[in-house]
Amino acid sequence: MVHFVGAGPGAPDLITVRGAALLESADVIIYAGSLVNPALLERAKPECEIYNSAKMTLEEVLDVMRGAEADGKTTVRLHTGDMSLYGAVREQMDRLDKDGIPYDDTPGVSSFCGAAAALCAEYTLPGVSQSVIITRMEGRTPVPPRERLSELSSHGATMVLFLSAGLLDRVQEELLQGAYTEQTPAAIVYKATWPDQKVIRCTVGTLAESAAREGISKTALILVGDFLGEHYERSLLYHPQFTTEFRKGTPE
Ligand code: SAH
């Protein structure tokens, strides 16, 4: 059996209780060494075989899984954050299906949640934005043309950019073709929840220069939108006059 486990954004105590238990019982761990905190591997049994997938191809990863399965061993495939975002898990699962190897999936705390926590920010403020666009700048991996940043920017919604910290000149240019302005608040969160986390608050117009000043070109998220500003409306849910299924509102 193969367990896909989300490692969380970095801090080793931000893995789920279920994920931690799976790590502790694994005979084989294949971890995404470029971003998973190696401190998590301290949970492994002494005899556990550990592989760093940063140095492996998909084929090599699958060979390890197949070998473990043939020996009746349990494998944990440890992915950074939550594997449903830029995790390259589908291709593993489809091949395991073909081989008849069973697997399951334990979610993790994505770095976009870790970044919000680093800022004590709420992405979906009433009166500001009720949507979060999670995307990336086109790099070596292409992005479908209808998802160009300039197109997505037309909404002015809260935006979270993965895998784009090294491309901020282009990011800035495309964001400005939409509803954001030079003054729209933005933030760069480097290594959210790691001991060397850095939070840089800036604006869309100063994204590239801020990252360059701080020497940040990877392992960072770019957050954009007025949710980082001063103004918003209070929630209806907790408003004294608002009636919900659980609470009767008072008249004005
Ligand atoms: N599945 C992961 C994302 C993997 S893609 C998740 O849910 O978080 C790798 C990108 O994620 C990095 O280039 C960076 O943009 C972002 N990232 C991952 N961990 C991060 C962290 N702790 N702080 C900031 N960004 C992070």
Q: How far apart are the C-alpha atoms of 18 and 38, rounded to whole Å?
A: 18
Going by the DSSP 8-state scheme, the letter that residue 155 receives in this structure is G
Could you tell me the distance, in angstroms and rounded to a whole number, from the CA of residue 114 to the centre of ligand 1? 9
**Is the CB of 80 within 6 Å of ligand 1?**
yes
Residues facing residue 189 across a β-bridge: 199, 221
Q: pLDDT tens string for the chain (252 positions)?
A: 999 999 999 999 999 999 999 999 999 999 999 999 999 999 999 999 999 999 999 999 999 999 999 999 999 999 999 999 999 999 999 999 999 999 999 999 999 999 999 999 999 999 999 999 999 999 889 999 999 999 999 999 999 999 999 999 999 999 999 999 999 999 999 999 999 999 999 999 999 999 999 999 999 999 999 999 999 999 999 999 999 999 999 987
**Number of neighbours of residue 166 by Cβ within 10 angstroms:** 15
Q: What DSSP string runs through 2-35? A: EEEEE-BSS-GGGS-HHHHHHHHH-SEEEE-TTT
Which pLDDT does position 251 carry in this prediction? 85
Residue 112 token pair: 């976009």
* Minimum CA distance residue for ligand 1 atom 24: 220
N-terminal to C-terminal alpha carbon distance within the chain: 59
Total-model pTM:
0.96
Q: What angle do CA 95, 98, 99 make, to 5 degrees?
A: 90
**Is the CB of 111 within 6 Å of ligand 1?**
yes
Q: Are 31 and 52 in contact (CB under 8 A)?
A: yes
Pick the atom of ligand 1 nearest to 84's CA: 1
